[in-house]
Amino acid sequence: MQTEGKLRLADVFVSIKDPRQASKTRHDLVEVLVVAVNGVLAGADTFVEIEAWANEKLAWFRRFLKLEHGIPSHDTFGRLFGLIDPGEFESAFRRWVSGVLPALGPEEVVAIDGKTSRRSGKVDATALHLVSAFAAGAGLVLGQTATAQKSNEKTAIPALLHTLALEGCIVTIDAMGTQANIAQAIRSKKADYVLAVKDNHPTLAEAMRDFFMQFQAAPAARTPHSFHQQLEKDHGRIEHRRCYAFDQLECLHNPAQWPDLSAFVVIDSERTVRGKTTREQRYYLTSLPPDAQRLAHAIRSHWAVENRLHWCMDVAFGDDQMRARTGHAAHNLAILKHITLNLIRLDPIPRKGGIKVRRLIAATSDEYREHLFGLGR
C-alpha cells in the first residue's frame, strides 16, 4: 500500500525488526501493520476495534495482502505493538514522511510541543508523554519521540531535533524548551528559533517585562522597534494582538548565552469575551531579525500544534481514553494515529468534514481508503 504514489508504507515497515520468535510467528509483521493502519484510518481506536473492523473487511484486504491466517486477534495486535521497538517505528515514520513530503517550504513553521496520553500509564507507571514536531503550514506530523521515565521535554526535544531536516524552517517551542542547548541544536540544523520565555527563566523574564514597561511609559518613537497588530473577531470573541520586536539585546540578562540571538518579542494581547476584557503579555527570544509581522505569524502558527494536532488526537482519535499499557503499545499506537492523520491531511482532493468525518467515510468506502493509500494506480 502506498501514499500518493511516492513511498509505500509497506516499504518503510520492512525496516522494522520483528521482535517475535520466527518459529512462533503466524502473522507477517508488515501485513499486521498495514491492517492496523487501515483500522485506525477507519475509526478504530483500540486493538479490539481494529480486529472487529478488519474481520469485516477481510475479503477487501486479501485483494492486496496474503493474510494466510486471517486477521490477527486483538491480543496478538496488543502483544506485537507492545514488543515493537518504538525507536524503529519512529524512524520508519520519519522515512515515510520524508518520502511524501521531501522538503518543507521556505519559512515553514515547525512547532515542537508535548502531549500526555492521560490513561496510558499503569498505576505505578508514568503515562506516555510524546513530544511531536508539527509542520504548521502543511498540517503534518514530522516526527515524535517519547520522554524517558523520570525525564522531561528538555531531554526529548534535542533528540527529536537531531532526527529532522529543518534547514530554512522556523522552529517554535514553548517555555519548557527555552534552553541554550536547544537553541544551539536548532541553529546547527540551519533553522531559526522562536522560544517562549516564562518564569522558568525568572531573571530574563523580569528584564523583558521591565524593558517593555519603560517602553510603554515613554513615547514609542524614542525606542527603535518593529510593530504589527492583528484584530480577530469570532463567535463573540474579540482579540487584539500587538506584536513588538526589539533588538536592544544589551537590556536582557546574559544575552550571549543564546546562540545567534537577534531580537526579542513582546505579544501584548487583549481579549474581550461576553463583555469581559482580559490582557496578557507574552515574551519570546529569536534568532530572526526584528520583523514584527514575520514574528507574529510564526508565534501565531505555533498554536496550530494545539488546534490541529493535540485537539485532533483527543477528539478525533480518543487519545486521552487510550488504555494500551503493555510494553511499548501506547507509544506505537500513537505513532499509528499520526500516520493516519497525515494520510488524511495529504489527500489533495478537498472534502467536507473534519477528521472524524473522514474516518467515518474510510470505515465504509473501499474506494476512499484505496484513494488515500494510492491503490490501484
Q: Give DSSP secondary structure letters for 67-112.
A: -TT-SPPHHHHHHHHHHS-HHHHHHHHHHHHHHHS-SPPTT-EEEE
Q: Given this model, what pLDDT does residue 245 score?
A: 98
Residues 152-195: tens digit of each pLDDT: 788 999 999 999 999 999 999 999 999 999 999 999 999 999 99
Provide the 10 A C-beta neighbour count for residue 101.
18
> What are φ and ψ of residue 46, in 5° steps?
-130, 165
Q: How confident is the model at residue 2 (pLDDT cuts 50, 70, 90)?
A: very low
The Cα 239–Cα 229 span in angstroms is: 10
Q: What share of the chain is helix, strand, coil (3-state, %, to 5)?
A: 45, 20, 35
Residues 320-356: tens digit of each pLDDT: 777 666 889 999 999 999 999 999 999 988 888 899 9
Instruction: Find out whether 265 and 276 touch, Cβ atoms under 8 Å.
Output: no
Which residue in 3, 1, 53, 102 sits closest to 344, CA to CA? 3
Q: How far are the Cα atoms of 21, 230, 268 from residue 240, in angstroms, in the given order? A: 61, 6, 8
Whether 284 has a pLDDT exceeding 60, the answer reads yes
CA torsion, ordered 186, 190, 191, 194, to nearest 10 deg: 50
352 burial via Cβ count (<10 Å: 0-12, 13-18, 19+)? exposed
Q: Given this model, what pLDDT does residue 375 score?
A: 54
Tally of helices (H runs) and strands (E runs) in the chain: 15, 11
